[in-house]
Amino acid sequence: MSDNKTTHFGYKTVNNEEKAGLVAGVFHSVAAKYDLMNDLMSGGVHRIWKRFTIEVSGVRRGHRVLDIAGGTGDLAAKFSRLVGPTGEVVLADINDSMLKVGRDKLIDRGVCSNINYVQADAQYLPFPDNHFDCITIAFGLRNVTDKDKALRSMLRVLKPGGRLLVLEFSKPENELLSKAYDNYSFKLLPKMGKLITDDADSYQYLAESIRMHPDQQTLKEMMDDAGFAMTEFYNMTGGIVALHKGVKP
Q: What are the extents of the domains in the chain?
A: 43-172+218-247
Q: What is the model's pLDDT at position 145?
A: 92
Superfamily of domain covering 43-172+218-247: Vaccinia Virus protein VP39 (3.40.50.150)
Buried b (16+ CB within 10 A) or exposed e, 80-112: bebbeeebbbbbbbbbebbbbbbbebbeeeebe
Those residues whose C-beta lies under 8 Å from the C-beta of residue 94, and which sit 6 or more positions away, are 20, 23, 24, 69, 119, 120, 121, 122
Q: Which residues are annotated as a binding site?
A: 72, 93, 121-122
Pairing, β 12-15 against β 88-93: unpaired
Rounded to an integer, what distance in angstroms lies between the CA atom of residue 168 and that of residue 172?
A: 12
Q: What is the model's pLDDT at position 2?
A: 44
Q: What is the model's pLDDT at position 92?
A: 97
Q: What is the model's pLDDT at position 37?
A: 63
Q: What is the model's pLDDT at position 85?
A: 94
Q: Which residues are annotated as a binding site for S-adenosyl-L-methionine?
A: 72, 93, 121-122
pLDDT digits (tens, 9 = 90+) for 84-122: 999 999 999 999 988 998 899 999 888 778 999 999 999
Q: Is the pLDDT of residue 33 over 80?
A: no
Length, in residues, of the chain? 249
Q: What is the model's pLDDT at position 1?
A: 43
